Every structure is written in structure tokens, then in C-alpha cells.
Amino acid sequence: MRGIAKSFLGVRVLSGVNLEVAAGEVHAVVGENGAGKSTLMKILAGVHSPDEGSVEIDGVSVSFAHPVEAQRAGVAIIYQEFNLLPERSVAENVFLGREPVRRGLVDRTAMETDTTRLLKELGETSFVSHDLVRHLSIAQQQVVEILKALSQDARIIVMDEPTAALAEHEVELLYRLVARLRERGIAVLYISHRLREVFDLAERVTVLKDGALVRTADTADITSDELVRLMVGRDLGTYFPPRGTETGEVRLSVRGGGNAVLDGIDLQVSEGEILGVAGLQGSGRTELAKAIFGAEPFTRGTMSPLRPRSVRQAVAAGIGLVNEDRKAEGLALRQSVRDNALLVSRSVRRGGRTDIRELLESVRLQPPRPEQEVRYLSGGNQQKVVLAKWITVAPKVLIFDEPTRGVDVGAKAAIHDLMRGLAKDGMAIMMISSELPELIGMSDRIIVMRDGRIAGVLPAGPSEETVMHLAAGEVTP
Amino acid sequence: MRALRSMGPIFLVLAVLLVLIAAANPFFLEPAGFLAFVKRAAPLVILAAGQYFVIVSGEFDLSVGSLVTVQVVVAARLIDGEESATWWVLALLIVIGLLVGLVNGVITTGLRVPSFITTLGMMLVLSGAVFLWTGGAPRGALSETFRMFGRKDLGAVPWSVLILLVMGGAAIMLMRSDFGKRLMATGDNERAAGLSGVRVNRTRILAFVISGLAAAVAGILLGGFAGVSAQVGQGLEFQAITAVVLGGVALGGGRGSVVAAMAGALTLEALFTLLNLYGISGALEYAVQGVIIIAAVAAGAVRLPFKRVARA
């Protein structure tokens, strides 16, 4: 791939990216969230077409209008979310849409035989070709995706964060699988946040940052420190409101909290404090927020003021959550600003009568029109409405999950100000963000999540490298 | 302003139909004539108001037609012409209505059976029960007091019109209350409502209970108005849904006003009256309803589910 550039709605997400991968090579692609890894891979797979640049396979220039064309050219992509039919067998999934036909009927025998042969070649013995996919574990389903790719004679396989959903022991199996693919002369593009995997598996690594290529290097020639620096190294040019100086009594504390995803969570947040939560996608950040908020409750450990078993209990105990995905989880889009802003207080009957104009002005909604349907508001204004919703019940603890995602710069600063203001007024705030500059700029303390546990606690103002090291897991201790 | 805009077109259609009826039948312009029309429409308007609560929460209630039949048949059998039995039977009917709504709601939310199936099943269960109990021909008779609500007047105004005003007023007040706002939010975005502390299931169950109550009241009015038969409630569930959709209320929930839903019911009744006046067979009513429901929904009342865009 040469000189690839791509913009969405006028926003440049990739520019001048070169990437090459040889047969039998494992090539890792790393970068922060939003660095452009996924877009680059989707261009290779024919999901998007590049605005500039070219893609060559075996020296022949190709341009795919459709993913199927890329498939025919030997490119297969294995997404984090699998494309499998749970109620069909392994063989049926492998040959989905390309069933071998004999005398007008699907040749099941051929399907089964071919699938069994592929399973043997991969050394996979834990399941057989006629098992239903829904009976398989996530790791086994991943193998089915790889079988699918192989049966299509894929020569380039892209794996998007393949270990994100795997347990520790399953990762070992994946390593062996990738080794087999390499032996077969398949080029593997391996996207991952996890540096250990990069060094274990890949011969070369390409670092993307803000849509541009930073460097391609042999993994033998680079240290994990350098790699982290390449991924995050940038200026902290943005202004954040000054930190608070005083923190008061502890408003929230969790001891040994755990559930299906989380384990051994110990943390506390005091009034006046903003506690940052860092971590990669899938590290358990959002799950931590939902556990404290009672939406996906803790099943172990203790929590004070109480360990909520439901959202209502949490709200009654003075805990609020500004969701990561405000359209799906935060707002009733067709209702008015007023009805959204008052929804929480109407559900729990707290806070009494609210002066709606005063409320909207306090969150600096511009213009403060209570009758407008929220779907017509900008992202920043929608987020302010979500914030207003919680302010009406004056929570003691307010958790923000990605508070400024999809929000323009001006509204971002306003939301940061509001958060600091709430903390000054005595609220205890937790803030999850995948934007490290924001997290570092806002937080009085930062906990770093990894694999559902707290990997470390950092004081105010750590370097991005320190956070990334903890989040990604270091190669050398 | 917003209220007007969101319910706009149905009132225009209703006005046009009323003018057409008046042109064909001048008696319609006199108070007595108009009140007679409202009286005839009252059961459907009440049913539509009840149905509105269920639809706006994102569900359906197909059981109300059968429930009306049950009400009438049970009343006739238990009262059997006995005046003194009227009041406890009336109370019993209301309880049956509330109970059927409760069961619909609990099964739909608790067992996660789609309401379309739950209430379709309930419709069949109730129809079967009526058939079994009556052997096909309802027995007994209603008392005079019972029939009063459906056919007599209080002074110049029919009882059923008064009852309609009370029920309609209550529906409007309910939608303005915190419950109404929670119901709307639930129908619009169940997840967001739940994560804002709304008891989503309880809210929906209450909507079904309201629909059951509306069906009970409609049954009481229809028993007096139309008399006892095993067909009295037939097709009413679809008339009620048609009326609500005609009022511009979105199937799928979260949108539309109860006033517009009730206006939709009046419009439907006006349309039937008009067809009748011009001598068009009553058999055409079903076809007309079919066309209306498809046209109204196609005209954009249905809200497409939001496509969740995968993040890059």
C-alpha cells in the first residue's frame, strides 16, 4: 500500500501511509485509538476505497469496489466481532455463500471433508466440522474465521485485535495458529495494542499516529520504550482548568470488587477529586463504570456507600453515570431537552421542582431552548443535556465515560470546566477517557486498567509513556 | 407550537370529514346530532386512548377487542336482568380489565415475549373462553342501570360522552405527569431510560393495565349501546390501532400525542359515518381501515431503528 490517504466528511483520517508485508511475514500495526489502523485495514479489505494512493498485491495494482473483490484477490480480514452464524455448523460457516455444488445440491460431504482437512492442517482438535458455532468458545470461533479465510485461499490475513476477547491461555493457542499461517506463506497483518504480542509474534512493526505513518521497524531493532514513545509522543498543547487543591472525605470506595469481567478492584474517590481511569479498549474501563453504577453490578467485594445491584439503587445512593455512547444510552433523542434533562429526577423523585432555564444555563447549553428535540443538537450540546440530567439529582459521585467523544473543541473546554466546577463544589468525579492528553490534563490521580484489573495508580501529571506502559503491559518488567 | 405541529394533519382531516358529514346530513350540526355522533364514537376513542399508552411505550395490545366481548358477555350472564347485581358486576368488569392488562404486561416484560405475540395469544384465549362459556350464544341480559351508561343521557348530554370526557381528560393529565414522560422516554430509548433510573418494565406494565382499563370501560359502554352478542368486540383492536396510527403516533414508540390518537379515533368513526351516509356497504370498513393503516404508516410514522455505526 502506497501513499494511502482517506478523509471522512472532510476529516482527514489517513494521509500518505505506506505499508508492505511479505509472504510468510507477520507485520504488526500499532497506534493509539483513532490512529487510523482500522481505516487502513478496511481500505485493504475493500470496505473503503482510498482517496489517494494505490494498493498492490504481488506487484499488480488492484482497486476494490467491494469487500468480495478483495476476498477474491486473496485478502481476508478477521474483525473483533466475528461474522458467523451461530446456529450453523463449522463447515457451513466456512463455506457460507460459496457452498460446493454437486448436481444442483449443496455437496455437504465435500464441505465436511475440506473443513476437516483444514482443521487438521492447523492442528486444531478441540472441535469438529459439524459442531454448531454457538457451542464453540470465542477462541474456537476465531479459528473458524481463520478456516474461512484459508478456504478462500487468502494470502493476506488481517487480524484486528485478535486477543482482545481471549483469555490468557487462549492467547498461547493463537500464537501457535499464527505461526502455522506463517509457515504456509501467508502474510499476516496483526493489529494490536498489546506490545508484548507485537514483540512475540511480529518480524516488523508499523506505527501509525493521527493518520500518518510514524515509522516501520524490525522488531529486533526497537525497544518497547521507543515504540510507546512513537505511539504517543506529542505536545500537550491544550489548556485544562487548574486542578483543585483540596479534597475532602471519601465519597466512594470499592474493596476487592469483581464480576465476570473485573477482578480485585480497589479504589476510592474523594469529594473535590477527579479520578482518571485509563486503559485500552477492552481493558474493563467501561465495565468498571457500569459496575459502580449498578448497570452490570459487582458480584464480589465491598463498596461504600453501598454495592448497588441495580441502576436505581446506585442513583438513590447518589451515583450517576454519563455514558460513553450518549445516543444509545444517554438520551431519548426524540424527546425535548426539558424531558431529557428532567428524566432522572422524574424517575427517582428527587431534587423537587427544577427551574429548567437555570439548569440549562448552569451547563452552558447554547441556546438554552428547553422545547427543542435533542436529536437536533450538536454533540457538545447533547452531552451538556446528559450532564444536566444528573445535576438535577445532585449526585455525590459522577462518572464520566468518554465525556468529550464526538464533541467539538469549544464544547470540550466547556465540559472540562464544568467537570472541574462540579468537583470544586464537592462532587467526587471519575473520568474515563482514551484521550491521554485529556486524561492527564484533568485528573488529580489516574488508575490504569488492564485485563479487568487495576494495573497501577499514578499521581497527577504522569507522562503519556508511563500511562501507556501500564495500559499495554510492558515487555520487560 | 410544538404540540400543534406534532398533531397537525389529523385535525385538518377530521374537520374536513365533519364538514362533509354536515353537508350530507344537516341534523349533524345540531347539538343532539353531533352528540349522537360522539356517543357512537366514545368506545373507540376510549380504546384508542388506551392503545396509545401501549403503542407509545413501543408495544401493541391486540387483546382489547376480545376483552370487550368478554366484558359484555360476562356482564349479561352475571347480571341476568337483576338490577341489584349491576354495581358489583361493574366493579368486577373493571378488575377483569386491569387484570388482563397486568398479565399482558408481565408476560411481555418479564418473560420477554414480544407484545404482538402476548396479546395475540391473549386475544385467542379470551375468544376461546367466551365461546366455551356461552356455547356460541350469549345468555342472560343486562340491567337497565348497566345499559344507562351506553345509551342514556344525563340532562342533554349522553352518559358515554361524559365518561369519554373524564377518561380523555385523565389520559391527557397522565401523559403530562412524570409517568407520561417516563413512558415516552421508555418508548423512545429503553436503554437510556433504564440507565436514567426509569423502571422500564413497571412503566410498560402500567401502560398495558391502562389499555385493559380502557377496554373495560369501552366494553361497558358498548354493552349498553350495541347490546349483547359474542361479536360485539370483534375487530376493535385493529380499529383502535388504526386510529392511533392515523393520529400520527409512531409504531415503535416514543412519539405522538394522546390527543391526536383520540382525534384519530374520531376521524375513523367520521369516515365510517360518511361511508354509511353515502350508502357504501359497511363491509368496506375493513378495506378502508387496511388502506388507512398502510398509508399512515408508509407516510412516515414509523421510526426506523437507529443503525449503530461501527466505530473506526
Cα distances (angstroms) measured from residue A441 to each of A268, A458, B220: 20, 13, 67
Is the Cβ pair B195, A321 closer than 8 Å?
A: yes
All three cell numbers of A469, joined, read 506502559
Counting DSSP H helices and E strands in chain B, the numbers are: 13, 2
On whether both A369 and A331 belong to a single domain, the answer is yes
Residue A80 is which amino acid? Q
- Give the chain A residue whose CA is nearest to the CA of B250: A334
- Between CA B56 and CA A38 the distance in angstroms is 39
Determine whether A145 is exposed, middle or buried from the number of CB atoms within 10 Å of its CB (0-12, 13-18, 19+). buried
Residue A240 lies in a domain: no
- Interface test with chain A among B196, B202, B255, by most A beta carbons within 10 Å: B196
Question: Among B189, B7, B204, B191, which residue's Cα sits nearest to residue A335?
Answer: B189
Q: Report whether the peptide linkage leading into residue A305 is cis, meaning its omega lies within 30 degrees of zero.
A: yes
Do B15 and B6 form a contact (C-beta atoms < 8 A)?
no
Decide if pLDDT at B173 tops 90: yes
pLDDT at B2: 47
CB contacts, 8 Å: A13 with chain B: 312
Decide if pLDDT at A39 tops 90: no
Question: Among B10, B48, B7, which residue's Cα sits nearest to residue B239?
Answer: B48
H/E stretch holding A391: helix A379-391
Do B188 and B253 form a contact (C-beta atoms < 8 A)?
yes
CB contacts, 8 Å: A347 with chain B: 178, 182, 193, 196-199
- Between CA B214 and CA B94 the distance in angstroms is 9
Q: pLDDT by residue (tens digit) across A316-352?
A: 999 999 988 888 889 999 999 999 999 998 888 765 6
- Between CA A297 and CA A347 the distance in angstroms is 20
Is the Cβ pair B195, A330 closer than 8 Å?
A: yes
- Between CA A5 and CA A15 the distance in angstroms is 4
pLDDT at B163: 94
Is the Cβ pair B198, A347 closer than 8 Å?
A: yes
Question: Among A206, A277, A233, A279, which residue's Cα sits nearest to residue A473?
Answer: A279
- Interface test with chain B among A319, A347, A390, by most B beta carbons within 10 Å: A347
- A62 HSE (CA, 13 A, CB side): 21
On whether both A318 and A270 belong to a single domain, the answer is yes
Is the Cβ pair B192, A334 closer than 8 Å?
A: no
CB contacts, 8 Å: B188 with chain A: 332-335
All three cell numbers of B142, joined, read 343486562
Residue A242 lies in a domain: no
On whether both A324 and A430 belong to a single domain, the answer is yes
Percent of chain B with pLDDT over 90: 55
Question: Among A184, A202, A204, which residue's Cα sits nearest to residue A74?
Answer: A184
On whether both A178 and A275 belong to a single domain, the answer is no
Residue A244 lies in a domain: no
Do B247 and B256 form a contact (C-beta atoms < 8 A)?
yes
Question: Among B236, B233, B240, B194, which residue's Cα sits nearest to residue B54?
Answer: B240
- Between CA B273 and CA B278 the distance in angstroms is 9
Q: Is the ipTM of this complex over 0.90?
A: no
**How far is the alpha carbon of B219 from chain A, nearest alpha carbon, in Å?**
33
- A362 HSE (CA, 13 A, CB side): 18
Picking from A321, A334, A349, the nearest residue to B254 by CB comes out as A334
CATH level 3 topology of B45-299 = ABC transporter involved in vitamin B12 uptake, BtuC (1.10.3470)
CB contacts, 8 Å: A346 with chain B: 178, 181-182
Residue A465 lies in a domain: yes
Is the Cβ pair A340, B185 closer than 8 Å?
A: yes
Question: Among B48, B17, B38, which residue's Cα sits nearest to residue B214?
Answer: B48
- Helices B64-79 and B31-56 pack at an angle, to 10 degrees, of 120
On whether both A214 and A254 belong to a single domain, the answer is no
Say whether residue B252 is in contact with chain A using an 8 A CB cutoff. Answer: no
Do B222 and B150 form a contact (C-beta atoms < 8 A)?
yes
- Give the chain B residue whose CA is nearest to the CA of A339: B181
- How many domains are contained in chain A? 2
Say whether residue B6 is in contact with chain A using an 8 A CB cutoff. Answer: no
Decide if pLDDT at B312 tops 70: no
CB contacts, 8 Å: B184 with chain A: 332, 335, 339
On whether both A155 and A201 belong to a single domain, the answer is yes
- Between B3 and A365, the higher pLDDT residue: A365
- Between CA B140 and CA B85 the distance in angstroms is 13
Q: How much helix, strand and coil, in percent to the nearest 5, is found in chain A? A: 35, 25, 40
All three cell numbers of B135, joined, read 356455547
Q: pLDDT by residue (tens digit) across B225-244?
A: 888 888 888 889 999 999 99
Average pLDDT over residues B135-156: 84
Decide if pLDDT at B52 tops 70: yes
Parallel, antiparallel or unpaired: strands A428-432 and A300-304: unpaired
CB contacts, 8 Å: B182 with chain A: 343, 346-347
Signed CA dihedral, B155, B156, B159, B164: sign only? negative
pLDDT at B304: 41
On whether both A226 and A284 belong to a single domain, the answer is no
Residue A238 lies in a domain: no
Q: Which among A39-53, A87-101, A173-187, B188-202 has the top mean pLDDT?
A: B188-202
- Interface test with chain A among B179, B182, B195, by most A beta carbons within 10 Å: B195
Residue A243 lies in a domain: no
A-B contacts at Cβ under 8 angstroms: 77
pLDDT at B8: 67
On whether both A223 and A282 belong to a single domain, the answer is no
Is the Cβ pair A333, B188 closer than 8 Å?
A: yes
CB contacts, 8 Å: B254 with chain A: 332, 334-335
pLDDT at A126: 85
On whether both A265 and A223 belong to a single domain, the answer is no
- Interface test with chain B among A208, A210, A343, by most B beta carbons within 10 Å: A343
Picking from B184, B195, B306, the nearest residue to A311 by CB comes out as B195
Q: So where are chain B's domains? A: 45-299
Residue A95 lies in a domain: yes
Decide if pLDDT at A239 tops 80: no
Q: pLDDT by residue (tens digit) across A434-475?
A: 888 889 889 999 999 998 999 889 988 888 888 888 888 764
Structural domain range at position A305: 250-472
**CATH number, domain containing residue A19:** 3.40.50.300
All three cell numbers of A261, joined, read 469481567
Q: What is the mean pLDDT of chain A?
A: 85
**How far is the alpha carbon of A22 from chain B, nearest alpha carbon, in Å?**
26
CB contacts, 8 Å: A329 with chain B: 191-192, 195
Task: State the DSSP code for A132.
Answer: B
**Radius of gyration over alpha carbons of chain A, in Å?**
25
Is the Cβ pair B189, A328 closer than 8 Å?
A: yes
Say whether residue B305 is in contact with chain A using an 8 A CB cutoff. Answer: no
Q: pLDDT by residue (tens digit) across A187-215?
A: 999 988 777 888 888 999 998 887 888 88
pLDDT at B90: 93
All three cell numbers of A161, joined, read 485485535
Say whether residue B197 is in contact with chain A using an 8 A CB cutoff. Answer: yes
Question: Among A139, A331, A169, which residue's Cα sits nearest to residue B254?
Answer: A331
Picking from B2, B197, B303, the nearest residue to A347 by CB comes out as B197
All three cell numbers of B176, joined, read 403530562
- Interface test with chain B among A38, A161, A334, A345, by most B beta carbons within 10 Å: A334
SS (H, E, C) A266-308: EEEEECCCEEEEEECCCCCHHHHHHHHCCCCCCCEEEEECCCC
Task: State the DSSP code for A327.
Answer: I
Mapping DSSP to helix (H, G, I), strand (E, B) and coil, where does residue B70 land?
A: helix
Instruction: Give the lowest-confidence range in A4-13, A381-390, B231-240, B256-265.
Output: A4-13
Do B295 and B271 form a contact (C-beta atoms < 8 A)?
no
Residue A29 lies in a domain: yes
Taking CA B298 as the corner, what is the angle to CA B293 and CA B301, rounded to the nearest 5 degrees?
85
Say whether residue B198 is in contact with chain A using an 8 A CB cutoff. Answer: yes
Question: Among A59, A57, A115, which residue's Cα sits nearest to residue A88?
Answer: A115
Is the Cβ pair A332, B193 closer than 8 Å?
A: yes
On whether both A401 and A459 belong to a single domain, the answer is yes
pLDDT band at residue B143 using 50, 70 and 90 as cut-offs = confident
- Between CA A125 and CA A119 the distance in angstroms is 7
Which residue matches cell numbers 476505497? A49
Mapping DSSP to helix (H, G, I), strand (E, B) and coil, where does residue B144 land?
A: helix
On whether both A225 and A254 belong to a single domain, the answer is no
On whether both A88 and A32 belong to a single domain, the answer is yes
Mapping DSSP to helix (H, G, I), strand (E, B) and coil, where does residue A75 land?
A: strand
Question: Among A94, A93, A111, which residue's Cα sits nearest to residue A102?
Answer: A111
- Between A12 and B274, the higher pLDDT residue: B274
CA dihedral in degrees (B70, B76, B77, B83; nearest 10)? 140
- Between CA A110 and CA A57 the distance in angstroms is 30
